[in-house]
């Protein structure tokens, strides 16, 4: 559970770093489970690539229907222009998502030992709902950049309630693409929404056209086992991984089930 000083820091900065949140056994359970899931995954079933260019996802039903599934998304650089893999399967995955927290027994076992919903309540969520989970890999040498964004763009409620809980499964630093955050930027209005389009596919709805402030981002270099809590409106970013070390992380997003979850959000789940 969080101390009053930590709660105050979160509301001031828009994020909070909590060291030693996950122990070595819990980290190994998640990483080994991800390895087993990838081993059993048949990549010929899909070549869905995770990209920060959200418009490219518009026709990707495999991605859009993953809210209540466990699915696999590739790094852009893992597949060449001819559709051939450039790296071994275990090194090709960008992330696994988006419902292993509800569907997989190992993930559920670990997650249910954590006080994430209780921390969400401490931070203002009256009725926490675990909406989305992701095992994120940031693979050596090819791990892609994730552009500056606000999580509520993708998980929109009215009023806004999204909070992200990002856990480092391996050390994260500037070399392998650690998180970078705009401290205090959660007070910036939400810039846009990524939503289902009335004509099919997806689209961005622009909410605020003001440019991002010209502010240097703070590096969140953290040790394995560290939790980073992210306000849904906090602008954050991670660079490419150009090192030979991976940067695995696990994240789960809470929303307040008392708030209205938009029916045109891209992620829909009955779980």
Q: Is the confidence at residue 54, as pLDDT, over 80? A: no
Question: How does pLDDT run across 161-207, given as a tens digit for each residue?
Answer: 999 999 999 999 999 999 999 999 999 999 999 999 888 888 899 99
pLDDT of residue 47: 63
Q: What is the residue whose two structure tokens read 């988006």?
A: 98
CA distance 158 to 10: 21
Q: Which two tokens stand for residue 91?
A: 């090194």
Q: Is the confidence at residue 252, as pLDDT, over 90? A: yes
State phi, psi for 27 to the nearest 5 degrees. -65, -45
CA distance 184 to 235: 9
pLDDT of residue 26: 98
Using 50, 70 and 90 to split pLDDT, how confident is the model at 63? confident
Q: Is the confidence at residue 49, as pLDDT, over 80? A: no
Q: Which two tokens stand for residue 181?
A: 């955050």
Average pLDDT (47-75) is 74
Question: Between β-strands 249-256 and 192-196, what pairing exists: parallel, antiparallel or unpaired?
Answer: unpaired
Domains detected in the chain: 4-261 (2.60.120.620)
pTM of the model: 0.95
Helix (H) or strand (E) holding 16: strand 15-18
Q: Is the confidence at residue 59, as pLDDT, over 60? A: no
Question: How does pLDDT run across 208-251, given as a tens digit for each residue?
Answer: 999 999 999 999 999 999 999 999 999 999 999 999 999 999 99
pLDDT of residue 48: 66
Query: Which residue, 161, 182, 179, is CA-closest to 226?
Result: 179
- Mean of pLDDT over the chain: 93
pLDDT of residue 199: 83
pLDDT of residue 208: 97
pLDDT of residue 230: 98
């Amino acid at each position: 559970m969080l101390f009053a000083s930590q709660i105050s820091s979160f509301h001031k900065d828009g994020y909070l770093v909590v060291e030693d949140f996950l122990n070595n056994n819990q980290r190994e359970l998640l990483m080994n489970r991800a390895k087993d899931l990838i081993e059993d995954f048949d990549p010929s079933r899909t070549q869905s690539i995770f990209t920060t260019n959200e418009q490219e996802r518009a026709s990707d039903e495999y991605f859009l229907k993953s809210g209540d599934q466990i699915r696999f998304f590739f790094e852009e650089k893992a597949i060449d222009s001819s559709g051939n893999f450039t790296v071994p399967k275990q090194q090709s995955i960008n992330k696994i998502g988006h419902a292993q927290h509800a569907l997989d027994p190992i993930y559920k076992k670990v997650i249910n030992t954590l006080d994430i919903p209780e921390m969400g309540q401490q931070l203002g969520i009256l009725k926490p709902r675990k909406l989305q989970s992701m095992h994120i890999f940031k693979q050596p040498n090819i791990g892609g950049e994730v552009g500056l964004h606000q999580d509520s763009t993708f998980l929109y409620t009215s009023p806004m309630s999204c909070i992200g809980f990002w856990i480092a499964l391996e050390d994260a630093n500037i070399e392998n693409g650690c998180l970078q955050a705009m401290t205090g930027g959660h007070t910036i209005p939400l810039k846009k929404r990524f939503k289902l389009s009335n004509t099919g596919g997806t689209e961005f709805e622009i909410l605020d056209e003001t440019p991002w402030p010209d502010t240097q981002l703070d590096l969140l270099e953290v040790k394995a086992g560290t939790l980073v809590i992210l306000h849904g409106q906090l602008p954050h970013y991670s660079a490419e991984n150009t090192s030979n070390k991976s940067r695995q992380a696990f994240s789960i997003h809470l929303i307040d089930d008392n708030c209205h979850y938009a029916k045109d959000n891209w992620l829909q789940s009955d779980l």
